[in-house]
Structure 1
Amino acid sequence: MKSAVLLLTLYFAGTYSQQLCDHPPSDWCSTWEIAKACQVEQQCRGYYSRKDLKKSNEPAVQVDLYYESLCGGCRKFLALQLFPTWLTLNEIMNVTLVPYGNAQEKNVSGKWEFTCQHGPDECYVNTIEACVMYHLQDIRSFFPVIFCIEFSSNLTSALEPCLAAYYPELTVKTVMACVNGDLGNKIMHQNAMQTDALNPPHEYVPWVVINGKHDDSLQDRAISALFNLICDTYTGPKPDACSSKGVTPLKRDSVCLS
């Protein structure tokens, strides 16, 4: 079993065998048969019918996460709140990830140079994640890879095993060409502008925006119990999963101040 898969499945089930599971994480709760094959029945006990949800014309809840890759609070929120909530509720929520956070940029001879709060390694991993998202585009493809990187013990060396586990069609060479080239520089500048344009301006990360809004109340609810917030915010028919306990709430973690 690949190490990145082990990290994910240890979180969900404590002990887990993937011998019968050949489905991507985003499909684990899509049917009860897949949940059983992947041995996540308990986590998918709120299984709901995707067919019924697709009948609703209500917009999905939009969650935008502004973060930096080596911030402990960001990693905890992404790995233990946002990703597991998305696995279960991805039919009623959309997620946008913007890796940049409290970084600073300056233009030097026509090229952007970045200074990150947790040093050069953070700028490096921010760019890796941004390039993975650029190449894969579809969140169902890139989110498991991003989760795997953020949940790894060594983020700077996590790209290769995480791609091998979740999206082997994308090569490390392709991603690193982006990271080390003009494309990665351009993407990170776009992330910088998007972060700097936040209203209100971000004061720390993780900075969570729900349906285009951010305030202290929404932030506190997102950090402590995102699953419940998504269920409460969605205006269409509630999926069955919303009647379950969902993701275990977190105590508010430390943030990385800007």
Structure 2
Amino acid sequence: MGLWFLTVACSSLWVGLGLGGAPCKYPPHLWCSSREIAQACKAEKQCAKVTSAPQKADPVSISLYYESLCPACRSFLVLQLFPTWLMLGDIMDITLVPYGNAKERKGATKWEFECQHGPDECLGNVMEACLIHLFEDMYFPLIFCMESSANVTQNLPTCMKLYRPDISLANLTACVNGDLGNKLMHANAERTRALNPPHKYVPWIVINGSHTEALQSRSQAALFKMVCDLYKGEPPVACLDKKSPFPHSQQYSCLNA
């Protein structure tokens, strides 16, 4: 009795709205089941409102230009960028460019690099460039693991066992020591030199294609809140709490000499 009454009531409501004209031979609960039925029953507009999902906005784009042993870069990546990505990854687009304040010159057979914090930083940079290239779906946790450890370069085997035990370290080693790693670092050097404005320090943070001192300061202070504020779509649940879940980071940098 109740179901019959509800069906009749719904039918009366739709007809009262000017829907379900003479050509319509379908009950109201089928009017939005296909485009043809919606057209026959003159219910296209109403069905569009019922069935259309809210449009997703573009993700907030964050590009980090950094070097593997810079304390300020490590602090931002470990304390701000990675935790924010864990909670808001669905509305973020992350790009990591490990190179920073390094210098390159053309050698006899390959590019040669001089890094701000010495040869071990050059090794860390190429390791992370190879991780990004080889493990597109899983590189960020690996880089976080390296950057949060006491020794960035020596901790890679442990990080691989934690996050990618199914992958042999040999592929990564071949990249690091071979032509591929050298080409990846040269590409990162070119991307870093192409920055506009040119970078003066690292971490150098580019938000939605732009770098300003205001965006840099805001990113280093409270990246999570900034991403929530910049996202134009329906905010995820994590953004509904007005307080940032992470403490503000110290705002310091490694200057480009």
Other-structure match for 1:194: 191
Aligned partners of 1:202, 1:171: CA distance in 2, in Å?
Answer: 36
1:211 correspondence with 2:173? no
Please, which runs of 5 or more residues in structure 2 have no aligned partner? 1-52
Conservation of the 8 A alpha-carbon contact between 2:67 and 2:99 = yes
Aligned partners of 1:89, 1:198: CA distance in 2, in Å?
Answer: 26
Larger Rg: 2
Aligned partners of 2:251, 2:168: CA distance in 1, in Å?
Answer: 35
1:56 correspondence with 2:55? yes
CA distance 1:56–1:157, change in 2 (3 Å): same
Q: Deviation per CA, 1:25-56: give whole Å up to 9, x if none.
A: xxxxxxxxxxxxxxxxxxxxxxxxxxxxx843
1:182 correspondence with 2:190? no
Aligned partners of 2:54, 2:126: CA distance in 1, in Å?
Answer: 38
Conservation of the 8 A alpha-carbon contact between 2:129 and 2:184 = yes
Other-structure match for 1:237: 234
Other-structure match for 1:102: 101
Conservation of the 8 A alpha-carbon contact between 1:159 and 1:172 = no
Aligned partners of 1:126, 1:55: CA distance in 2, in Å?
Answer: 41
Conservation of the 8 A alpha-carbon contact between 2:146 and 2:152 = yes
Q: Deviation per CA, 1:84-112: give whole Å up to 9, x if none.
A: 00000001011000000000000011410
CA distance 1:251–1:81, change in 2 (3 Å): closer
Other-structure match for 2:219: 222
Other-structure match for 2:120: 121
Return the offset for 1:183: 0.3
Return the offset for 1:125: 0.6
Amino acid of the residue matched to residue 243 of structure 1?
Answer: L
Conservation of the 8 A alpha-carbon contact between 1:70 and 1:118 = yes
Return the offset for 1:247: 3.1
Aligned partners of 1:152, 1:64: CA distance in 2, in Å?
Answer: 22
Aligned partners of 1:247, 1:192: CA distance in 2, in Å?
Answer: 34
Aligned partners of 1:109, 1:58: CA distance in 2, in Å?
Answer: 48
Aligned partners of 1:203, 1:68: CA distance in 2, in Å?
Answer: 13
Amino acid of the residue matched to residue 128 of structure 2?
Answer: E
Aligned partners of 1:89, 1:152: CA distance in 2, in Å?
Answer: 24
Q: Deviation per CA, 1:224-251: give whole Å up to 9, x if none.
A: 0000110010001111111223332324
Give 3-state SS (helix, strand or coil) of 1:127's partner.
helix
Bigger relative contact order (CA 8 A; separation at least 6)? 1
Q: What aligned pairs does 1:140-151 form with structure 2 within 5 A after superposition?
A: 141-151=138-148
Q: How many residues align?
A: 203
Other-structure match for 2:252: 254
Other-structure match for 1:20: none
- Once structures 1 and 2 are overlaid, which stretch shifts more, 173-182 or 244-253? 244-253
Which aligned runs of 4 or more in structure 1 are off by greater than 6 angstroms? Answer: none
Give 3-state SS (helix, strand or coil) of 2:149's partner.
coil
Return the offset for 1:155: 1.0
Aligned partners of 1:75, 1:158: CA distance in 2, in Å?
Answer: 14
Aligned partners of 1:215, 1:253: CA distance in 2, in Å?
Answer: 15
Match of 1:165 among 156, 162, 166: 162
Give 3-state SS (helix, strand or coil) of 2:153's partner.
helix
Identity of counterpart residues, as a percentage? 54
Aligned partners of 1:85, 1:251: CA distance in 2, in Å?
Answer: 13
TM-score, normalization by structure 1:
0.76
Other-structure match for 2:18: none
Aligned partners of 1:85, 1:200: CA distance in 2, in Å?
Answer: 26
Other-structure match for 1:77: 76
Conservation of the 8 A alpha-carbon contact between 2:63 and 2:96 = yes
